[in-house]
Amino acid sequence: MALVLYNTRSRREEVFEPLTPGKISIYVCGITVYDRCHVGHARSLVFFDTLVRYLRWRGYQVEFVRNITDIDDKIINRARERGESWKDLADRFIAEMHRDVAALGCVQPDIEPRATEHIGEMIELIAELERHGLAYAVGDGDVYFAVTGFARYGALSGRNLEEMQAGARVDVDERKRSPMDFALWKAAKPGEPWWPSPWGNGRPGWHLECSAMSMKYLGRVFDIHGGGEDLIFPHHENELAQSCGAYDTDFVRYWIHHAFVRIDQEKMSKSLGNAFAIEDVLKEVEAEGLRLHLLSVHYRSPLDFSAAGIAESTKALVRAYETLARADEAGVPRHEYGFDSPQAAPLVEAMDADFNTTRGVGILFEAARDANRALDAGDLARGAEAVGVMRAAGLGLGLLMRSPAEFLAGYNARGASQAGLAAADIERLIGERREARAAKNFKRADELRAELLAQGIVLEDGPGGTSWRRA
């Protein structure tokens, strides 16, 4: 079995071969911290988290780097609007981003470099580009990359300079040699933060940080570079030009880009004003329900955001946790199926095929049905195997990692509290109903049950008594 992934550079699926056998180096473009993260960012965070988790579970030693862009025009402008320092603003949104990452159940990257902590490396890179005749300074201290000096410019995004210039929407800057040249270093305007450099006081251009930091931590060639598909051009095209131009390296072996989250058939984005902050969404929905929802669509297809869609996924997730809880209660033995076990083979096959998380989720639920069927039949051995498949799928996808009893208790308690009920209230009504049932007063028993149902609480009568859950 071979891991296959879609490489943006070749526009086709390729068999993945790591630079060093058994090891994988990954650099993902992270967030520009000028505002809270939205659901589009959540897709990026969850997808690459799943990719890293899967590859680790799959037996690879993964080095995962995700940067933070903590200096740029938007940060400066936003800080100015709010009358605080750009540093304080960036730090605050970094903390909020970390909170969102944790809430979504994502691992933190091994290294999370910040642009402003790598100014020296970036200056060094510009100097190297200058030596290769690919960088030029204009009078006032701005430095540009000369795209016409880099023959492969446009190869990643599949475009060429003539086409781009024909349809360019950018204002042509007379100081540039070519309209597509981009800034490596920006001279500081009055009141802006700056760092000293051979070209004067200023700050780095956006694309530079990722070239400098990825190569610093992962080497001049590394395995995977990822991000949203809007980064293909110009960001990744420019990174590639900088890194390859400076060091004549292959730079990135596999480029992976995921599609957007959409709302009403339109890209979710800050500039369109249709973005939902992760923080706000998680007040309304289960974080793991959102996570499952994001994984239920293949990463290269657009995903429509809707509360109803997340609710559907959450229902499915709860069902899976209920199956696990049921298995725990029945005392089925725990099996741990590694990626090379026959039980995990279908999941590995799905995920090896360009991270088909959709199919992976399907496998998880097929196993859930098998488990319930076996438990219905009292076949604990078969139930244990099916539950083992569920857990293996969970490990590969980053789902079902929590204790089922704990998850369900929390989920149900939140439902009850939304209805203004405490667990003790519900227990009291259950006790009252138990007495009514014992007296064969089914009319009263049914009234009590209907009362709770109206508040979103379902009662279930089982052999061991009555339990309650969120409708």
* Nearby residues of 456 by Cβ (< 8 Å), 6 or more positions away: 415, 416, 418, 419, 470, 471
Q: How far apart are CA 413 and CA 317, in angstroms?
A: 16
Q: How far apart are CA 64 and CA 219, in angstroms?
A: 13
Contact status: 301 vs RNA (CB under 7 A): yes
Among residues 131 and 428, whose Cβ is nearest to RNA? 428
Of residues 170-189, which lie at the interface with RNA (CB under 7 A)? Answer: 170, 182
Contact status: 455 vs RNA (CB under 7 A): no
Contact status: 116 vs RNA (CB under 7 A): no
Contact status: 465 vs RNA (CB under 7 A): no
Where does this chain touch RNA (CB under 7 A) — which range of 50-58, 86-94, 120-128, 163-171? 163-171
Work out how close the CB of 265 gets to RNA at its nearest, in angstroms, rounded to a whole number.
4
- 23-28, strands of its sheet edge to edge: 61-66, 23-28, 221-228, 251-258
Work out how close the CB of 360 gets to RNA at its nearest, in angstroms, rounded to a whole number.
8
Of residues 272-291, which lie at the interface with RNA (CB under 7 A)? Answer: 275
Contact status: 438 vs RNA (CB under 7 A): no
Residues touching RNA: how many (CB under 7 A)? Answer: 85
Say if residue 463 is preceded by a cis peptide, omega within 30 of 0.
no
Residues 78, 132, 335, 359: which binds RNA (CB under 7 A)? 359
Q: Environment class of residue 413 by beta-carbon count within 10 Å: exposed (0-12), middle (13-18) or buried (19+)?
A: middle
Where does this chain touch RNA (CB under 7 A) — which range of 190-198, 215-223, 241-249, 363-371? 363-371
Residues 261, 295, 351, 452: which binds RNA (CB under 7 A)? 261
Contact status: 80 vs RNA (CB under 7 A): no
Among residues 61 and 458, whose Cβ is nearest to RNA? 458
Among residues 137 and 232, whose Cβ is nearest to RNA? 232
252 - beta bridge partners? 222
Q: Contact 325/404 with Cβ under 8 angstroms?
A: yes
Contact status: 11 vs RNA (CB under 7 A): yes
Q: Contact 384/327 with Cβ under 8 angstroms?
A: yes
Among residues 422 and 453, whose Cβ is nearest to RNA? 453
Tell me, what DSSP letter sits at residue 234? I
Contact status: 60 vs RNA (CB under 7 A): no
Q: How far apart are CA 191 and CA 196, in angstroms?
A: 15
Residue among 101, 94, 95, 99 nearest 33 (CA) = 94
Residue among 344, 468, 454, 367 nearest 411 (CA) = 468
* Nearby residues of 348 by Cβ (< 8 Å), 6 or more positions away: 1, 58, 339, 396
Among residues 19 and 458, whose Cβ is nearest to RNA? 458
Residues 17, 250, 376, 451: which binds RNA (CB under 7 A)? 376
Where does this chain touch RNA (CB under 7 A) — which range of 138-146, 167-175, 187-195, 279-287? 167-175
Residue among 196, 175, 174, 176 nearest 187 (CA) = 196
Work out how close the CB of 305 gets to RNA at its nearest, in angstroms, rounded to a whole number.
9
Among residues 10 and 20, whose Cβ is nearest to RNA? 10
Work out how close the CB of 131 gets to RNA at its nearest, in angstroms, rounded to a whole number.
25
Contact status: 458 vs RNA (CB under 7 A): yes
